[in-house]
Amino acid sequence: MSLRTTTSVDYVEDVSPGSGALPPRAWYASSDAASLSLNGSWRFRLSATADAEDDSFAAEGYDAGNWAEVRVPGHWVLQGHGSPIYTNHLYPFPVDPPHVPTENPTGDHLRVFDLPDEWPADGGAVLRFDGVESCARVWLNGTDIGEFKGSRLPHEFAVGHLLKPTGNVLAVRVHQWSAGSYLEDQDQWWLPGIFRDVTLLHRPAGSALDFFVHASYDHVSGNGTLRVDSDVDGRVTVPALDIDVATGESVTVSVQPWTAETPKLYDGVLATEGERIPLRIGFRTVVLEDGLIKANGKPLLFKGVNRHEWHPERGRALDLETMREDVLLMKRHNINAVRTSHYPPHPAFLDLCDEYGLWVIDECDLETHGFVEQAWRDNPVDDDRWTPALIDRASRMVERDKNHPSVVIWSLGNEAGTGRGLTAMAEWIRGRDGSRLIHYEGDINCRDTDMYSRMYAAHDEVEQIGRDLDGGTHRRRGLPFILCEYGHAMGNGPGGIADYQRIFEAYDRLQGGFIWEWIDHGLKDARFGFAYGGDFGEELHDGNFVCDGLIFPDRKPSPGLVEFKKVIEPVRIEGDGSDGTVRVTNAYDFADLSDLAFEWSYQVDGKTVEAGSLSVPALAPGESAEVKLPTPPSGDGRGAETQWTVRALLAEDTAWGRKDHEVAWAQLPVSPRALPSVVASDRPSASERLIYVGPASFDVRTGALKTIGRLNVTDLRLDVWRAPTDNDEGASWQDDIRWASLWRKYGLHRMQHRLDGVELSDDALTVRTRVAPAAWEVGLRTVYRWTSDGTRLKLTVSVAPEGDWTVPLPRLGIRFGLAQADQVKWFGGGPGEAYPDTKSASMLGLWHASVDELQTPYVRPQENGARADVRWAELGGLRIEGDPEFWFSARRWTNEQLDAAQHLTDLTPTDTVWVNLDHGQQGIGSQSCGPGALPQYQLRAAPAEFSFVFSDLRD
């Protein structure tokens, strides 16, 4: 046992995966072998370079009393030592593989531990690291036991011979940068540290080492076949199936299969001479057959998300409860699949996927995206020197996760270009596990993969692929298609996912996709609310591109998740409300509808007047039934708007949802509303300073509205500007169609309002204007026509575009300020926000919220919070009725202030509430990394006329 006197750090820049570790194997928790968690508080010392300190700290007796402390699992940059860095694909260091900068933050971690009294004296022990970023060297009791790379992968060391009953010194030196960093260029924060568990495992004599559970399902016979291969012989028992066989022997029995919808797991035990290991066995068979990905004989339709591991305070150091929260949220939002972008997750996450039921694409910890900047020259995946590291990564993933029924596809990595190294990984995986399929999006010709996978392909291209009209190699054309990423959920959006879903469902070859991505990687920060790239003074960064999830950093669902839930709901409820029947279709792949209860309700002007249960047969997957609705309650006879709402709810509590949790719904209109009508009977009058029309007063010179009844109204005028969304801004590589910059170029944020005339007639005040930007010929001739029946005030706005409009309008409507508004009631779409192409989940009803509750807290402030199809709204004493329906939003700041804000903390409420009533809104799309709003959702400048009827509720 000798310490080296010189500190060599050559291993840091060595392309090899490391030395000293044990071969990879299955990750499991033994029932009886002892284990000791080494998580907790560790002593910590940060150095600026890899070799600033020698290794004397690893020696027994070293006094680290004056070191700082960090929490393990954790990232030191999130615990007050240094700062996180966010880049999408650019390496934050010079690209000169395998070299890394001399400035290489290096964290020495030290932990002294005793063995518990009951720790057996015999047998061996293994020290397991589940995740360390990016490279570590480990000493136990002064002995150098090895070094490793592969941040999101487990590494184990045999340490039994080094352990003592008390005073064991575990020293771990972690380098932020290493050759391994070149393989870990995922779009995420760079977060060094020991961020997953550290565990000491007792290994009794005769313990299992590694084992492989093969549990297949024959959908024709209904039988499952189980064989557990084990490095150490033993017996396998599964009491519920009366199975008691030797390892290596197959047994076939009748079973219930595992699927993501019906995640039946059988508890079993693998007993070797030295230990007992609990097994959770799911029988299922995944194949590529007839050009389709099939499980248990049926083609799958992935309704998936890409999940990074994220916690707003702890980064990628996730606890079990956070992982469970992710899984529960997914299940409750009808999601059936996860791609573990872009690395194997904490192993406990896969246990949860097995248990609750999610199809998993398990992705290897590999991305070399930054090489794209040099035309992929020197890409490690095409350089044989790196191949051992690549195979090491593939094998650590497969060996660790091979016993999970939820894992159906192995993914070689993400955005790593192409090369022999990837082929070598695929070959290794196929040789080891022929029972799963292989994915890699970068393999455009599907040389190594079992499916054609793309990211962000536009709707029309996906449809072409569905119709087999794409090009590509013969091999590729015979393969199924998935969108491993689509629906970029950055900020407000994603738009257009319902349109994708319709296409997926229309063509067998299209087997669904995975929204990018699950969670915003915002970091909780007192300065900003949530911080994103650039907030830590990074030299290079990609701003808020790291906040592109369906849930906010604090895991509150964003409107995008609510929309996705509706779009992918597993029951389709359709019909024409007036004919008294509804058609219910089971859109599950495996489950029948027996877990669901159906309810109908009947609304008159948004108010539910009757409700009851609806009896729907336990339809098999794909089946439909026509179900009779009850006789409609009689309406109120005054032209009320009426509709049915039919909902599918969980009939009982399940593992992931409570009884009555809503799974699917639809509304079937019966009779339309009567539009508000105001007979222009009031004759306008004028005084020296004011014009009066019914309850309202106007400035005599400008025609500007001043009061309605006793309410002051400020600055009512046409508005076309919205604080651009991330999708309006578009991705930097989509220059030709980045709407926000074109909008700014054409001055839509600085429209001038020229007054052309204020005219009084017998029954109306007419204000003529031209709304146009400086420097351009385009404009909107805008006429405001005010009339009244004496109590109510009607505004009709007519807009006629002039000039050559080449861009859509962000919005088209009016805005005004109201003092002291707080609670809002409306009859229209809700409860959440909606835009033309994000409106599936907008449910017609009577809703209320405070102005603050109407805001959607996108991490980077932007247009948000519009409610769709609003018939009427009330706030601050004002009632507004629309003809036709309108988009409603209200906030305590102007759209200009919203636009200027970079973080939520930049928004300071004022006393005035700014209200927008829009006739049109531009669609959202997903152009922050994908296609823009489809043409049918674009708000083209065109002649328009729309009206609002105002009344002062307090009169």
Show which residues are catalytic.
415, 485
d(CA 302, CA 165): 51
Contact yes or no for 481/454 (Cβ under 8 A): yes
Residue with CB nearest ligand GAL?
187
28 versus 343: smaller Cβ distance to ligand GAL: 343
- Single out the residue of 947, 948, 943 nearest to residue 799, CA to CA: 943
| 485, 589, 874, 952: residue in contact with ligand GAL (rule CB under 6 A) | 485
d(CA 817, CA 798): 21
As separate numbers, helices (DSSP H) first and strands (DSSP E) second, the chain gives 11, 58
- Single out the residue of 807, 738, 749, 812 nearest to residue 782, CA to CA: 812
186 versus 247: smaller Cβ distance to ligand GAL: 186
| 138, 213, 455, 924: residue in contact with ligand GAL (rule CB under 6 A) | 455
d(CA 881, CA 675): 9
Contact yes or no for 896/749 (Cβ under 8 A): yes
CA distances from 63 to 44, 56, 105, 600, 947 (A): 12, 10, 22, 71, 78
Q: Least Å distance between CB 723 and ligand GAL?
A: 21
Binding mask 82-121 for ligand GAL (x = CB under 6 A): ------x---------------------------------
Burial of 571 (0-12, 13-18, 19+ CB in 10 A): buried
DSSP of 278-295, one letter per residue? Answer: EEEE----EEEETTEEEE
485 versus 499: smaller Cβ distance to ligand GAL: 485
Q: Least Å distance between CB 134 and ligand GAL?
A: 18
Q: Least Å distance between CB 313 and ligand GAL?
A: 22
DSSP one-letter code for 21: P
88 versus 922: smaller Cβ distance to ligand GAL: 88
d(CA 908, CA 897): 9
548 versus 952: smaller Cβ distance to ligand GAL: 548
| 516 lines the binding site for ligand GAL (CB under 6 A) | yes
Contacts of 121 (CB under 8 A, 6+ apart): none
| 197 lines the binding site for ligand GAL (CB under 6 A) | no
- Single out the residue of 43, 108, 32 nearest to residue 71, CA to CA: 43
Q: Least Å distance between CB 482 and ligand GAL?
A: 14
- Token pair of 459 as six digits: 């709707």
545 versus 893: smaller Cβ distance to ligand GAL: 545
134 versus 341: smaller Cβ distance to ligand GAL: 341
Residues 530 to 589 in contact with ligand GAL, rule: CB under 6 A: 545, 548
455 versus 821: smaller Cβ distance to ligand GAL: 455
Residues 327 to 386 in contact with ligand GAL, rule: CB under 6 A: 342
Q: Residue 182 — φ and ψ, nearest 5°?
A: -65, -25
Q: How far is CA 882 from its chain centroid?
A: 35
Q: Least Å distance between CB 387 and ligand GAL?
A: 23
187 versus 837: smaller Cβ distance to ligand GAL: 187
Tell me the site size for ligand GAL, rule CB under 6 A.
13
- Single out the residue of 759, 90, 87, 742 nearest to residue 369, CA to CA: 90
Q: Least Å distance between CB 456 and ligand GAL?
A: 7
Contact yes or no for 517/548 (Cβ under 8 A): yes
DSSP one-letter code for 619: P
In single-letter form, the type of residue at position 232 comes to V
The rounded radius of gyration (Å) of the Cα atoms in the chain is: 31
| 766 lines the binding site for ligand GAL (CB under 6 A) | no
Q: Least Å distance between CB 376 and ligand GAL?
A: 15
Contacts of 302 (CB under 8 A, 6+ apart): 336, 337, 359, 482, 511, 512, 513, 514
Q: Give the bridge partners for 875, in sequence order.
A: 824, 878
Residues 174 to 193 in contact with ligand GAL, rule: CB under 6 A: 186-187
Residues 784 to 813 in contact with ligand GAL, rule: CB under 6 A: none
Q: Least Å distance between CB 415 and ligand GAL?
A: 5
Q: Least Å distance between CB 85 and ligand GAL?
A: 15
In single-letter form, the type of residue at position 493 comes to G
d(CA 107, CA 172): 8
| 127, 236, 338, 929: residue in contact with ligand GAL (rule CB under 6 A) | 929
| 387 lines the binding site for ligand GAL (CB under 6 A) | no
18 versus 549: smaller Cβ distance to ligand GAL: 549
Q: Least Å distance between CB 181 and ligand GAL?
A: 16
Cis bond before residue 84 (omega within 30° of 0): no
342 versus 871: smaller Cβ distance to ligand GAL: 342
Angle between helices 420-432 and 387-401 in degrees, nearest 10: 30
Helices (H), 667-812: 726-729, 739-745
What is the Cβ-side half-sphere exposure of residue 698, based on CA atoms within 13 angstroms?
Answer: 28
72 versus 547: smaller Cβ distance to ligand GAL: 547
What is the Cβ-side half-sphere exposure of residue 57, based on CA atoms within 13 angstroms?
Answer: 26
Contact yes or no for 157/200 (Cβ under 8 A): no
- Token pair of 828 as six digits: 């229209």
Q: Residue 278 — φ and ψ, nearest 5°?
A: -70, 135
Q: Least Å distance between CB 493 and ligand GAL?
A: 12
Contacts of 292 (CB under 8 A, 6+ apart): 299, 480, 508, 509, 511
Length of the chain: 955
d(CA 203, CA 347): 20
d(CA 925, CA 557): 19
| 259, 414, 787, 889: residue in contact with ligand GAL (rule CB under 6 A) | 414
CA 741, 742, 748 angle in degrees (round to 5)? Answer: 100
Q: Give the bridge partners for 912, in sequence order.
A: 819
| 415 lines the binding site for ligand GAL (CB under 6 A) | yes
392 versus 726: smaller Cβ distance to ligand GAL: 726
State the residues that interact with ligand GAL by CB under 6 A: 88, 186-187, 342, 414-415, 455, 485, 488, 516, 545, 548, 929
